[in-house]
Amino acid sequence: MPIDRDKNSPAVGASSPAAVDAVARATGAALQADTGRALAILSRVGADEFVGDELAFRSSMLERFGPNGSEDGLVGPVEPFAREMLAAYRAYWRAALAKPDERAAKEANLLPSLRRLTGRDDVADFDAMEPIVTECLGNAGYYCLQGLTGPLRELMLWTQQDLRSYKVVLPDGEHTTRVFLLDGFASLGWSDFATCGRRGTGGWATGDALFAVVPRYSGLDGEEFQVSFLGHETQHFADLTRFASMPQWELEYRAKLVELSKARLTRARVLRKLGEDQGDDPASPHAYANKRVLAALARRLHLPEGSNLDEIDVDRLQMEAAAELREDTRRRRATRQASATTARDAQADQ
């Protein structure tokens, strides 16, 4: 005879709905640089409700960020200087992730470590230090990404990069984009560290080219790479050219609309990532943009905020995402034109 099962109990071999939800919310907390909150979320659900990937994530988070946290099993550089540099960043990440209210102090504590490793006690700040670190890591055989990624100082390390050119169709037209394909990573950055590999940077854009983190994608012909990397980052590239002073969260807002305007096979994954990481602090630009993208689309679809967009017809969701992007562009152009008119009028009055 069939076994009675509570509607909230997991199916055999599956995590409970509460465990799945806890993993999603803990991932969001970690991406907002708060591992204490992530651990608290995971601890509120019984360990026996986690199975498979959810159980592996819970176990990894507890092992890395619990009271006796350890970095055992983490891959790192073989070369001594690069290994010590990454160790300094990981110590900073761990401290800043554990105490978000002390983030600035933990960042300040990183600078003396970089001075010691580079032998440059005369360097006053990160702006001056980072080119020195880049040169030293280059001498050790590594490319690197530094600067601020969201709320934390970044350090990504890799050994291989290959330049290619792609044609990318966006809602506002076709763009030809130069892309560096990066591989041979010794560090995938703080978000990968904070989520035990569940989430991480898939790439970024500069004024000259795009940079793709190849290990983040199952293949370069798949929709995830074509949409979530090429579409997303090419929109950044276009916006950096047209709207150079745009805040980071606004860049993310527009690029995430591009993803939803193009995603079909990966739509559920894109929506899940948006839903997991939502916030109200512009210092976490992805979380801030995610919340506003979902709210804007709910308004356009005449739905209550927080509605499940997975249930919307994919063609309609794509159309509304593209329409919201075009409307955002129209508003920006109108604002820029009004500002230019005001400046001309002010000059004429002088």
Q: Per-residue pLDDT averaged across 312-328, rounded?
A: 96
Distance in angstroms (rounded) separating the CA atoms of residues 254 and 250: 6
Q: What is the pLDDT of residues 9-40, one digit of tens each?
A: 444 579 999 999 999 999 999 999 999 999 99
Burial class of residue 284, CB neighbours in 10 A (0-12, 13-18, 19+)? buried
Query: Do β-strands 210-213 and 173-188 pair in parallel, antiparallel, or remain unpaired?
Result: parallel
The yes-or-no verdict on residue 156 having pLDDT over 50 is yes
Q: At what angle do helices 17-31 and 35-43 cross, to 10 degrees?
A: 170
3 state SS of 170:
strand
So what's the pLDDT on residue 178? Answer: 94
- Could you write out the three-class secondary structure of 126-159? HHHHHHHHHHHHHHCCCEEECCEECCEECCEEEE
> pLDDT-based confidence at 1, cuts 50/70/90?
very low
Domain boundaries, the chain: 17-65
The answer to whether 254 and 189 are in contact (CB under 8 A) is no
161 - beta bridge partners?
182
Spatial contact of 2 and 28, defined as CB atoms under 8 Å apart: no
- Residue range 40-51: mean pLDDT, rounded: 97
- What average pLDDT does range 93-102 have in this prediction? 97
178-210 tens-digit pLDDT: 999 999 999 999 999 999 999 999 999 888 899
Other beta carbons within 10 Å of 145: 18
- What are φ and ψ of residue 147, in 5° steps? 85, -170
Question: Which tokens hold the place of 75?
Answer: 């891959």
Provide the whole-model pTM: 0.85
Distance CA 270, CA 52 (A): 21
Report the range of poorest mean pLDDT among 71-80, 94-103, 260-269, 297-306: 71-80
3-state SS class at 251? helix
